[in-house]
Amino acid sequence: MPRQILCTVAALALAASAGACSSSRFDSGLNASARPVGRPARPPLPEEPDLGPGLSSGPVTSSPLAPPPGASAAPGPVVANPSGPIMAEASPPPVQQQAAIAPPPAAPVVASGGRSAVVGGWTAKDATGASCRVNLASTPALDLYKASSAGCANKDLAKVTAWDYRDGEVYLYQPGGTVAARLRPAGGAMDGALSKSGAPLAMVR
């Protein structure tokens, strides 16, 4: 009899213990389901350190340093003068091309003591002793100088229309450039010969 009572008491104790465990599990499940779902709790901010007296933990500000002694501050931006007019550089005028015109032929130069010494009137004498006047002018005629004759019986002298001085000699020319006579000055006279016949010819002042 006492053994049965002990068994009954032990069974009741086990049943009560099992009921208590199931009740606690149910309560914990309800609490977990009823808890709101959201972001995790924000961790607390760390406390600011104590920097000691006279030091503040506020925001730090910066300012430009002053230039060292003897140094000038940085120059400001250069601003162009808006009041002055801006003058554009003038372009050079266009070059006008002109057709090249050949200059007229220069007149022969009368050399002093040479050609200029024989300019003027002369009396010509041929081998027959006949004489006539021959004038040697300083007026240019193309590349020669004008000449004229008067009262000459010799046909070669009568046709003289131009003359020139080259290499120390006087050349008398007929129309067409034919040389009528060639003479060499000597003192105040000229001695030479007719080109066609070779007869001697002299001219004096």
Query: For 99-155, how does the pLDDT look when each residue is reduced to its tens digit (9 = 90+)?
Result: 556 665 554 443 446 899 999 999 999 999 999 999 999 999 889 999 999 999 999
Least confident of 97-101, 139-143, 159-163, 186-190: 97-101
Assigned domain for 99 exists: no
Q: How confident is residue 61, by pLDDT bands cut at 50, 70 and 90?
A: low
Look-up of token digits 């050079």: 92
pLDDT at 198 over 90: yes
Assigned domain for 70 exists: no
Look-up of token digits 């933990």: 57
Assigned domain for 40 exists: no
- Tens of pLDDT along 83-100? 555 565 666 666 665 555
Cβ proximity of 81 and 75 under 8 Å: no
pLDDT at 192: 98
How many domains does the chain divide into?
A: 1
Q: Would the pTM count as exceeding 0.75?
A: no
d(CA 157, CA 133): 9
Specify the CATH number for the domain of residue 166: 2.40.128.10
Sign (positive/negative) of CA torsion 171, 173, 178, 182?
A: negative
Coil/strand/helix, residue 38: coil
What's the distance, CA 127 to chain centroid?
76
Question: What's the domain range around 170?
Answer: 115-204
Q: How confident is residue 71, by pLDDT bands cut at 50, 70 and 90?
A: low
Residue 196's alpha-carbon distances to 28, 57, 177, 178, in angstroms, are: 162, 134, 14, 10
Assigned domain for 9 exists: no
Look-up of token digits 């070059």: 95
Assigned domain for 59 exists: no
Assigned domain for 42 exists: no
pLDDT at 103: 62
Assigned domain for 97 exists: no
Assigned domain for 199 exists: yes
Cβ proximity of 122 and 199 under 8 Å: no
pLDDT at 26 over 50: no
